[in-house]
Amino acid sequence: MFNALVVRKDEESGKTSAAVEQIGLDDLPEGNVTVAVDYSTVNYKDGLCIGPGGGLVRKYPHVPGIDFAGTVEASDDARYAPGDKVVLTGWRVGEAHWGGYSQKARVNADWLVPLPEGLTSRQAMAVGTAGFTAMLAVMALEDHGLTPDKGEVLVTGAAGGVGSVATAILANLGYDVAGVTGRPEQEDYLKGLGAKRIVAREEINETVKRPLESETWAGCVDAVGGPMLARVLGQMKYGGSVSAVGLAGGAGLPATVIPFLLRGVNLLGIDSVMQPYDNRLRAWKRIASDLPMDKLEAMVHPAVLADLPDLGRSILKGGVRGRVVVDVNA
């Protein structure tokens, strides 16, 4: 028997509750690789799956945790052998399939990648889906021509998980980073990650009647969406690109096509869930080389399984800064 955070749903009231319970190997879902989990983390989706479900969880009882890192314990797939260190992000694990908030997990081998050389399992979960997404966003901007000499790069939601890692990576690569936050008390934290200046959220979160404003940003990693993304599109330099990674400010986009037609702006959608294997390896390799580990450590808040119900509620309210690393064995 081993510990897991199990979410149950009352069929009459429709309400969910989450608590640490003991389960066994026979309780785990189907899969051809069993992993002894070392660490997991907390993302916005995890908050939904711990709590109301958000339409992501198909059936109960459920074990959330969309990320985990650990050691292969048993494998029916030739690619992985007992003792191999592995990482999992995405593939709807923790949503449709039981996830990493457990001391053991059973998954499909296709969903795993080897732990990148130079990273520990704890560091990999300090990165997690948020950091992996941030790296994909930076790579997409670079693939579309962004270089440090082009000008300032904006990061919205900069104090969140994706924004924090994106800020640290971009600054380490030599970019001048402007971080947007609605929490003024985070200025020292963001500057510690490498942001050159802070942009107050209220300066940029409302749409304006003008479809184009002064050309300001050479690139942008946007975790907010909604009116802020619409505003940013009108401020992009000619040929600049925005990597869209989130919708903390809403799923709507009250924008015009003018920035695309007159300035050649690119809006790049970033999906981390179904990302092909080869690009996953590319991203993790870049993370190991381009994300300063001291900056990563500065983002980390440690947690254990029993902390997760409160953390799930907190992240849905925007109350979690940086990255949470969950020691599932503590």
In the chain, pLDDT over 70 holds for what percent of residues? 100
pLDDT at 76: 97
Q: What whole-number distance in Å separates Cα of residue 109 and Cα of residue 91?
A: 11
Q: Three-class SS of residue 327?
A: strand
Q: Phi, psi at residue 232, to the nearest 5°?
A: -60, -40
- Mean pLDDT, rounded, for 152-159: 96
- CA–CA separation, 77 and 199 (whole Å): 49
pLDDT digits (tens, 9 = 90+) for 301-323: 999 999 999 999 999 888 888 89
Q: What class has domain 2-115+297-327?
A: alpha beta
67-75 and 85-89 as β-strands: parallel, antiparallel, unpaired?
antiparallel
User: Which residue reads 């429709």 in tokens?
Assistant: 14
Q: What is the pLDDT of residue 52?
A: 86
DSSP state of 150: G
Q: State whether the Cα torsion 157-43-166-266 is positive or negative.
A: negative
Whether residue 55 is predicted with pLDDT greater than 90 in this model: the reply is no
Pinpoint the residues of the chain covered by CATH 3.90.180.10. Answer: 2-115+297-327
Q: Which residues contact 78 (CB under 8 A, 6 or more apart)?
A: none
Q: What is the mean pLDDT of the chain?
A: 95
Spatial CA neighbour of 141 closest among 155, 128, 130, 127: 155
CATH code of the domain occupying 129-269: 3.40.50.720
Per 3-state DSSP, the chain is made up of helix, strand and coil in percentages (nearest 5) of 35, 30, 40
Band of pLDDT at residue 81, cut at 50, 70 and 90: very high
Tell me the three state secondary structure of residue 98.
coil
Q: Is the pLDDT of residue 11 over 90?
A: no
With 80 as the cut, is the pLDDT of residue 208 above it?
no
Structure tokens at 59: 């059936």
For the whole model, what pTM was predicted? 0.93
Helix (H) / strand (E) element for 196: namely none
Q: Give CATH 3.40.50.720 domain extents, the chain.
A: 129-269
Where residue 244 falls among pLDDT bands split at 50, 70, 90?
very high
Residue pair 85/121 in contact (Cβ under 8 Å)? The answer is yes
Expressed in angstroms, the distance from the first to the final Cα of the chain is: 15
Query: How many CA atoms lie less than 13 Å away from 301 in the CB half-sphere?
Result: 14
How would residue 100 be classed by pLDDT, with cut points 50, 70 and 90? very high
Q: Which two tokens stand for residue 130?
A: 């948020």
